[in-house]
Amino acid sequence: MKQRNYIKMEFPARSVNEGFARAAAAAFAAQMDPTMEELGDIRTAVSEAVTNAIVHAYPDSAGPVQMRLRILEGDLLEIMVRDRGRGIPDVKQAMEPMYTTGGEERGGMGFTIMGSFMDSLRVRSAVGRGTSVTMKKRIKTKAGE
């Protein structure tokens, strides 16, 4: 698929950067003229993906988190969040609702939430090498345009 526009950014895995990533993703997606609901979906999914990287990838440090957004043909927004952290031993298990490695204060719903707000979700991970979360959402064109 041909890309029409993209951004790439990298930031340390610190909780203060989650809000920035969410706002940056929404600002980039705004050029596609999404509805408020679609913008909310994008913000929520990015928030969950970045929070997962902050909490799970680097439990004892603030390693790098990379975020790439692309606008593809067919009004498709692709969001990729990647870390170089400890990785996920069993991705299938990690994607189960209520599964968490983050302690009792974590709900274990991150991947479930991402999947419910996006049209597609792909998670790839290698222990000791990191995790990549790729999400896609088709932005509906307004009626009459």
Calpha distance 132→13 (Å, rounded)? 14
Question: Which residues have a Cβ under 8 Å from the Cβ of 105 and sit 6 or more positions away?
Answer: none
Residue numbers annotated as active site: 48, 52, 106
How many CB atoms neighbour CB 15 within 10 A? 11
Q: Rounded CA gap, 136 and 138, in Å?
A: 7
- Rounded to whole angstroms, how far apart are CA atoms 2 and 32? 16
Q: In 3D, which of 47, 6, 15 has the Cα closest to residue 133? A: 47
Where do we find the tokens 């928030």? 47
